[in-house]
Amino acid sequence: MADFLNISPLTVDNHRDNIRKKSIDIFSRNTYKCFRENLKYHFNRDN
């Protein structure tokens, strides 16, 4: 527990940044996947 309390603010900030980057990465990957599925759907509908 003492080790936990000794974490520097910098470490906490880095951790927060990593979490943010990860969620942005996951979000953009999902968005891209949806976008591609939508394109596929539109192209298939036209044919």
Which tens digit of pLDDT belongs to each residue from 2-37?
Answer: 555 666 777 778 888 888 888 888 888 888 888 888
Report the C-alpha dihedral over residues 39, 21, 26, 45, rounded to 10 degrees: -10
Residue 7 DSSP label: -
Residue-level pLDDT at 31: 87
Residue-level pLDDT at 7: 62
Map out the domains of the chain as residue ranges.
Answer: 16-44
Residue-level pLDDT at 12: 76
Band of residue 46 on the pLDDT scale cut at 50, 70, 90: low
Backbone angles phi, psi at 7, to 5 degrees: -65, 135
Comparison of pLDDT for 45 and 12, the residue scoring more:
12
